Amino acid sequence: MQKIHAAITAVGGYVPDYVMTNAELETIVDTTDEWITTRTGIKERRILKGEGKGSSDIAVEAVKNLLQKKGIDPLEIDLVICATTTPDFQFPATSNVICDKAGMKNAFGYDINAACSGFLFALTTGTQFIESGRHKKVLVIGVDKMSSILNYEDRATCIIFGDGGGCVLLEPDTEGYGIIDSVLKTDGAGRAHLHQKAGGSVKPATVETVMAKEHFVYQEGQTVFKFAVKNMADVAAEIMERNHLKADDIAWLVPHQANKRIIAATYERMGLPEEKVMINIERFGNTTNGTLPLCLWEWESKLRKGDNIVLAAFGGGFTWGATYIRWAYDGNNQ
Which residue of 197, 221, 243, 264 would you call a contact of ligand UT7, by CB under 6 A?
221
Q: Is 42 in the site for ligand UT7 (CB under 6 A)?
A: no
Q: DSSP code of 90?
A: S
Q: Is 40 in the site for ligand UT7 (CB under 6 A)?
A: yes
Angle between helices 94-102 and 55-70 (to 10 degrees): 50
Tell me the closest approach of the beta carbon of residue 285 to ligand UT7, in angstroms: 10
Q: Is 262 in the site for ligand UT7 (CB under 6 A)?
A: yes
| Residues with Cβ within 8 Å of residue 261, at least 6 apart in sequence | 39, 40, 41, 225, 229
Is 193 a known active-site residue? no
Binders of ligand UT7 in range 110-129 (CB under 6 A): 116
Which residue of 20, 93, 224, 254 would you call a contact of ligand UT7, by CB under 6 A?
224
Burial class (CB in 10 A: 0-12, 13-18, 19+), 23: exposed
Which residue of 10, 170, 235, 258 would you call a contact of ligand UT7, by CB under 6 A?
258
Backbone torsions φ then ψ of 129, nearest 5 degrees:
-65, -30
Mark residues 82-101: x for contact with ligand UT7 by CB under 6 A, - for none.
Answer: --------------------
Between CA 49 and CA 97 the distance in angstroms is 19
Q: Is 196 in the site for ligand UT7 (CB under 6 A)?
A: no
Tell me the closest approach of the beta carbon of residue 292 to ligand UT7, in angstroms: 12
One-letter amino acid at 219 equals Q
How far lies 259's CA from each of 41, 144, 148, in Å? Answer: 6, 17, 20
Is 286 a known active-site residue? yes
Q: Is 225 in the site for ligand UT7 (CB under 6 A)?
A: yes
Cβ proximity to ligand UT7: between 77 and 263 the closer is 263
Mark residues 158-177: x for contact with ligand UT7 by CB under 6 A, - for none.
Answer: -xx-----------------
Q: Is 69 in the site for ligand UT7 (CB under 6 A)?
A: no
Cis-peptide, bond into residue 92, ω within 30° of zero:
yes
295 membership: H or E segment, kind and range: helix 291-299
| Residues with Cβ within 8 Å of residue 163, at least 6 apart in sequence | 15, 16, 45, 46, 47, 48, 58, 144, 145, 146, 147, 287, 290
Binders of ligand UT7 in range 299-328 (CB under 6 A): 314-316
Q: DSSP code of 3?
A: P
Q: Is 284 in the site for ligand UT7 (CB under 6 A)?
A: no
Catalytic position from the list 22, 256, 289, 295: 256
Is 116 a known active-site residue? yes
Positions in the binding site for ligand UT7 (CB under 6 A): 31, 35-36, 39-40, 116, 155-156, 159-160, 221-222, 224-225, 228, 258-259, 262, 286, 314-316
